[in-house]
Amino acid sequence: MKIKKQKVSPRQKMINLMYVLLMAMLALNVSSDVLNGFTLVDESLSNSSTNAGKQNDVLYDAFRNYMEQNPEKVREWYERAENVKAMSDTIYNLAERLKVRIAKKADGADGDFRNLKNREDLEASTYVMLAPGSGEGQLLYDAITEYRTNMLSMISDTVQKSIIETSLSTNVPRRDISLLKNWQEYHFENMPAIAAITLLTKIQNDVRYVEGEVLHTLVKNIDLGDVRVNQIRALVIPTSKNVVRGSEFTAQIILAAVDSTQRPQIFINDKLFDSTNGEYKSQCNSTGNYTLNGYMLVNDGTGSQTRYDFSQNYTVVEPTATVSASLMNVLYAGFSNPVSISVPGVPANNISASISSGSGTITGDGKGGYVVVPTKVGEELKIGVTARNEEGKQQSMGEYSFRVRQLPDPTPFIEYKDKDGNTQRYRGGTPFSKQSLMSTNGIVAAIDDGLLNIGFKVLSFETVFYDNMGNAVPLKSQGTSFSQQQKDMFRNLGRGKRFYISHVRAIGPDNVERLLPTTLEVIIN
């Protein structure tokens, strides 16, 4: 059966259209009470953010005061605090700029987000945050993500980390309405202008809160690594307890702080040193320069251990005393005189000596001593001594005068081997074995008085024999050896016979040739 369609009058069509428009408006309209609620929340969040900013400013002022009082200790944490302020202000100002743009989009060029008129506007936030090519939602998302990462890197407490991650979370809730939406679309798409502004104010408030949490942590970190002490002592640590007249006494005057309830662990050469009071003793059996190396492990405020390395140089010297007889300060010209020079408390390698130009030479013997060779007989020679102290400065130890004499004349003698193979010296006046006489090559000359043992080179000498008639038979020899003629005379000598060695000419290490006044009497046994 065909149904006849009733004709609708123009008036009815108008009523129906108005009803549809009304329903649409009702569906899109947001309750004024809800909009007022957003306004109240925004004002509350703004006040909270302002108060948090003021509290943070107090912490920044504290950082500046600490920096003025102790820049070396505070600098690292002060610079971190300044970095936190710069990052926090950057994201705070970004949110502030976005609030201004949304207000102007909703109310026109004169729009003010603090007194928004078209609070229910659904297009303003969508346009500002999500418009293709100009939307700033992605910029805000990236800024929050980077800020959160930077703040988390400055704290270690797990509870604080969790709070910051929650406050600055950019995760999208798992709800049907959020499916296929990113963070910026979820928060700003078709969102009333007042709601979007309130959300941005919340982000600003969260930033100020996180900023404060990180600042409190940085303030505590200034003293967190300090060692807790309960005793303070004034100590004087001298560079050296032995001071030479004319030099400087140098010492460090410090405050030493200790904790009597716990002692640090001391390691010397990587081995634990067991001591209740930190006193170190070591037996010094060898001379030389030494270094005491080690480190200490000290518990700090965090409960962890901090290592402090130490190193101390010290010198071990021989226990010496310098004694000299004023009347015996004699050096021999042209001879290598051995001289020992020492300064109490100063190692040999830090001592140097010199003599005036033209007086001779002075050189080290490689064993810590010196060799002095004067050149002018009869003059006074002065040896100047300097020492290098522990600061590396040269200090004069004074000048020491010596009289320069010519080497005394040597004594001639005959060298031979005894029955045990030891070298002996026959100086005359006593019986001498003919066998020993025949086995020797000649004579020698030397200064041999128990103190000096200086050899001379024999240039020539003369032997005098007496025949049966009492006539003297002189025989000369060039050099240090007996001539063949002299040896033949030795063979003819019987027991009790004697001959004389005289006119000995010799030259010493000073290159002075001399005729020895001594005559050597040889008695045959």
Render pLDDT for 482-492 as a digit per residue (tens, 0 to 9): 999 999 999 99
Strand, helix or coil at 441?
A: coil
User: Which of 100-114, 187-201, 215-229, 500-514 is the least confident region?
Assistant: 215-229
For residue 26, the model assigns a pLDDT of: 38
For residue 238, the model assigns a pLDDT of: 65
The residue out of 198, 224, 250 marking a domain boundary is 224
pLDDT-based confidence at residue 444 (cuts at 50, 70, 90) = very high
The answer to whether position 3 is within a domain reads no
Does the pLDDT value for residue 187 go beyond 80? yes
Number of domains composing the chain: 4
334 & 219 share domain: no
The residue out of 224, 257, 290 marking a domain boundary is 224
| 17 token code pair | 């259209």
| 439 token code pair | 């086995």
The answer to whether position 111 is within a domain reads yes
For residue 286, the model assigns a pLDDT of: 78
Does the pLDDT value for residue 115 go beyond 50? yes
219 & 104 share domain: yes
Does the pLDDT value for residue 210 go beyond 60? yes
Share of the chain above pLDDT 90, in %: 41
Tens digit of each residue's pLDDT (9 = 90 or more) over 310-367 = 887 777 766 555 555 455 688 999 998 888 888 877 788 888 899 988 889 999 888 8
For residue 1, the model assigns a pLDDT of: 37
For residue 239, the model assigns a pLDDT of: 66
The answer to whether position 276 is within a domain reads yes
204 & 56 share domain: yes
- Average pLDDT of the chain to the nearest whole number: 83
Strand, helix or coil at 281?
A: coil
Does the pLDDT value for residue 56 go beyond 70? yes
What would the mean pLDDT of 76-102 be, rounded to a whole number? 94
395 & 415 share domain: no
Phi-psi region of 431 (alpha: psi -120 to 50; beta: other; left: phi over 0): beta
167 & 276 share domain: no
pLDDT-based confidence at residue 243 (cuts at 50, 70, 90) = low
Does the pLDDT value for residue 301 go beyond 70? no
For residue 202, the model assigns a pLDDT of: 92
The answer to whether position 15 is within a domain reads no
The answer to whether position 473 is within a domain reads yes
pLDDT-based confidence at residue 27 (cuts at 50, 70, 90) = very low
**DSSP assignment letter at 226:** S
CA distance 372 to 383: 9
For residue 470, the model assigns a pLDDT of: 85
For residue 153, the model assigns a pLDDT of: 93
41 & 153 share domain: yes
Most confident residue range from 16-25, 62-71, 341-350, 390-399: 62-71
Tens digit of each residue's pLDDT (9 = 90 or more) over 267-291 = 888 888 877 666 777 777 777 777 8
Does the pLDDT value for residue 459 go beyond 50? yes
Q: At residue 394, what are phi and psi to the nearest 5 degrees?
A: -85, 130
Distance of CA 199 to the CA centre of its chain: 55
Residue 414 near residue 425, CB atoms below 8 Å: yes
pLDDT-based confidence at residue 5 (cuts at 50, 70, 90) = very low
Q: Between 452 and 149, whose confidence is greater?
A: 149
Does the pLDDT value for residue 247 go beyond 50? yes
The answer to whether position 11 is within a domain reads no
149 & 220 share domain: yes
178 & 101 share domain: yes
For residue 317, the model assigns a pLDDT of: 63
| 376 token code pair | 């002018």
pLDDT-based confidence at residue 372 (cuts at 50, 70, 90) = very high
88 & 150 share domain: yes
Does the pLDDT value for residue 227 go beyond 70? no
The residue out of 258, 283, 316 marking a domain boundary is 316
Looking at residue 331, which CATH number applies to its domain? 2.60.40.10
332 & 387 share domain: yes
Q: At residue 432, what are phi and psi to the nearest 5 degrees?
A: -130, 130
For residue 232, the model assigns a pLDDT of: 67
SS in 3 state form for 374-387?
A: ECCCCCEEEEEEEE
pLDDT-based confidence at residue 513 (cuts at 50, 70, 90) = very high
For residue 244, the model assigns a pLDDT of: 56
214 & 306 share domain: no
The domain in which residue 251 lies consists of: 231-316
Does the pLDDT value for residue 96 go beyond 90? yes
What would the mean pLDDT of 129-142 be, rounded to a whole number? 92
95 & 206 share domain: yes
The answer to whether position 127 is within a domain reads yes
The answer to whether position 16 is within a domain reads no
Buried b (16+ CB within 10 A) or exposed e, 18-48: eeeeeeeeeeeeeeeeebeebbebbeebbeb
Tens digit of each residue's pLDDT (9 = 90 or more) over 141-179 = 999 999 999 999 999 889 999 999 998 999 887 765 556
437's enclosing H/E stretch is: helix 434-439
For residue 28, the model assigns a pLDDT of: 46
Does the pLDDT value for residue 207 go beyond 70? yes
Share of the chain above pLDDT 70, in %: 81
pTM reported for the whole predicted model? 0.47
Does the pLDDT value for residue 475 go beyond 50? yes
Please give the full DSSP string across 156-198, using - where no structure is assigned: --HHHHHHHHHHT--PPP-SGGGTT--HHHHHHTT--HHHHHH
